[in-house]
Amino acid sequence: MYNLAKVSSPIKRLRMTNKMTTQPYKGSRDFYPEDMKIRNFIFDTWKKVCKSYGYEEYDGPFIESFELYAAKSGEELVNEQLYSFEDRGKRKVAIRPEMTPTLARMVASKINELPKPIRWFSIANFWRYEKPQRGRGREFFQLNLDMFGIEGVEADLEVISTSVDILKSFGAKETMFEVRFNNRRLADDIYRNLGLSTEQKKLVNKALDKKLKISQEEFNSWLKDDAKLSNLELKSLNDYLENPMPMVNQLVPKSKGAQEVVKLTELINNQGLSMFVKFDPTIIRGLDYYTGNVFEVYDLNPQNIRAIAGGGRYDDLVTVFGKDKLTGTGYAMGDITLKDFLKGWNLLPKFESECEYLITLWPSEDPKFLKKELEISKILRNNGLNVQTWLENNTKLEKQLKYADKKGCKYVIIIGENELKDNLVTIKNLKDSTQETKPLEKFISDIK
């Protein structure tokens, strides 16, 4: 038994203050039933496509040790966006800002038992301390899909295909989105060709990562002023970005990155995916761990400029746990930008009410009405139907019907004096306002 003396006065005081806010914490969302329907619609579609490719669902804990993120997440994330704190046992912990570190830990833990390739997906909630804005909250859900153990670009093709299939499953057409891919190794070789230093390469990558959101002038001045590119280097780089294929083809004999891009392009063409997936030398991905092909999925609606999804090939996520290297490829898709995408292109369906029957309760003190009502509700439920019952025996029928209407119920059952006496039910169809009375037995056999 805990000590009553522990009841601290600040809590007592808080209980006294009046009128707490009903707003959720800044940057987070309440999911009312109508929001939840959209969320479930998105999750169900994600799951369906992932499973159709043989991916299996996993999940990890919402809190991990701080060290895991310090070791595996990007520095911006860890230094500026992580929700981290000390637990009551003085362990430094953090709320997950992304899935990859957890995924790497879980795969490393069972690396020898798991048959390869490993195909896994998860749908989870993440938190980052960011300034909330369109397409970005502090809290968001992500689909994470990854395949481990296959080096070839065929695996990259598959994960890209799943992202295309997901958007197509929502009804999206090629005019609505585009997958843009590049290759980290190729980018390195291009920069080496231009004679850039390691430091300059990093800065060029960072500038490319922001290119969509800044003007060409800003881009140029970043490269000149920050990355110290000469005018000639800048021109060569811009020429490459403008028309990359000649240089890519020229690099093929000696550049693994160029070979991967050419092969992936070929596979994309063979698979009839070229209207959805395009090579784009400006795609870099912020995170350090990518090593091969990288890609992002963009909404072609100019109102929604943040990527819907992004990912790529990483060659080493598990050695930090003392395991042998294991290559992987995968991506994350966020629910907020995806919802903006679906809304923008009018791809969100109208969700029907899930209420199939409201069984009304005849306004009477006689307990037989309730008994009959509950008896019928049980039968309908046992037949897989969603049934609400009215539970107050002093409510006018009119009010009960109004409730059924507000909740979008398809049918209302009425059992009045006559129905009860003769074992009948009256069924009101709220869609077409028809009504019929029939023997309970007949009604039940019709249901079945």
Least distance from C-beta 298 to a copy of itself, angstroms?
21
Strands of the sheet containing 424-429, edge to edge, are: 387-389, 357-359, 411-414, 424-429, 434-439
Q: How far is CA 237 from the centre of its chain?
A: 35
Q: Residue 49 or residue 247: which is nearer to a copy of itself going by CB?
A: 49
When the beta carbons of 95 and 308 are compared against a copy of itself, the nearer one is 95
From 44, 239, 324, 392, residue interacting with a copy of itself (rule: CB under 8 A): 392
Nearer to a copy of itself, 103 or 247 (CB): 103
- Decide: 373 and 400 in contact? Cβ < 8 Å: no
Cα 327 from Cα 321, distance rounded (Å)? 15
Q: Round to the nearest angstrom and report the end-to-end CA distance of the chain.
A: 53
Name the nearest CA neighbour of 389 among 433, 426, 423, 356. 356
Q: Which residues contact 339 (CB under 8 A, 6 or more apart)?
A: 38, 42, 348
The residue within the footprint of a copy of itself, chosen from 136, 201, 206, 438 (CB under 8 A), is 206
156, 257 contact by CB (below 8 A): no
Asked if residue 365 binds a copy of itself (CB under 8 A), the reply is: no
Among 371, 418, 423, 435, binds a copy of itself (CB under 8 A): 371
Instruction: Tell whether the torsion through CA atoms of 162, 166, 167 and 169 is positive or negative.
Output: positive
> Hey, what's the torsion of the CAs at 304, 162, 281, 250, to 10 degrees?
-160
Return the range that interacts with a copy of itself (CB under 8 A); candidates 112-120, 235-243, 337-345, 433-441. 112-120
- The footprint of a copy of itself on residues 116-175 (CB under 8 A) is 116-117, 119-120, 125, 127, 129, 139, 150, 152, 154-155, 158, 165
For a copy of itself, which is the closer residue by CB, 131 or 346?
Answer: 131
Peptide bond into 24 cis (omega under 30): no
Residue 199 CB-density burial (10 A; 0-12 exposed, 13-18 middle, 19+ buried): exposed
Put residue 114 in one of left, alpha, beta given phi > 0 → left and psi -120 to 50 → alpha: beta
In this chain, which stretch among 74-82, 176-184, 302-310, 418-426 interacts with a copy of itself, using CB under 8 A?
Answer: 74-82
Write out the E strands in 153-289.
177-183, 277-279
Q: Identify each DSSP E strand in 232-364 by its residue range.
A: 277-279, 290-299, 309-314, 328-334, 357-359
Site membership for a copy of itself, residue 8 (CB under 8 A): yes
Stretch of residues binding a copy of itself (CB under 8 A), selected from 180-188, 243-251, 299-307, 380-388: 380-388
> Which residues in the 52-71 window bind a copy of itself by CB under 8 A?
52-54, 56-65, 67-68, 70-71
Closest among 267, 312, 293 to 187, alpha carbons compared? 293
Residue numbers 285-344 binding a copy of itself by CB under 8 A: 320-322
- Selected range binding a copy of itself among 9-17, 174-182, 275-283, 306-314, rule: CB under 8 A: 9-17
Q: Tell whether residue 423 is a contact of a copy of itself (CB under 8 A).
A: no
Rounded to a whole number of angstroms, the minimum distance from the CB of residue 444 to a copy of itself is: 16
Question: Does the protein bind a copy of itself through residue 105 (CB under 8 A)?
Answer: yes
Judged by CB under 8 A, does residue 366 bind a copy of itself?
A: no
2 binds a copy of itself (CB under 8 A): yes
* 210 is a contact residue toward a copy of itself (CB under 8 A): yes
> Total residues at the site for a copy of itself (CB under 8 A)?
111
Q: How far is the CB of 301 from a copy of itself (least distance, A)?
A: 26
Q: Which residues within the stretch 222-281 sit at the binding site for a copy of itself (CB under 8 A)?
A: 222, 226, 267, 270-271
Among 44, 79, 275, 441, binds a copy of itself (CB under 8 A): 79
Task: Give every CB contact of residue 382 below 8 A, 6+ residues apart in sequence.
Answer: none
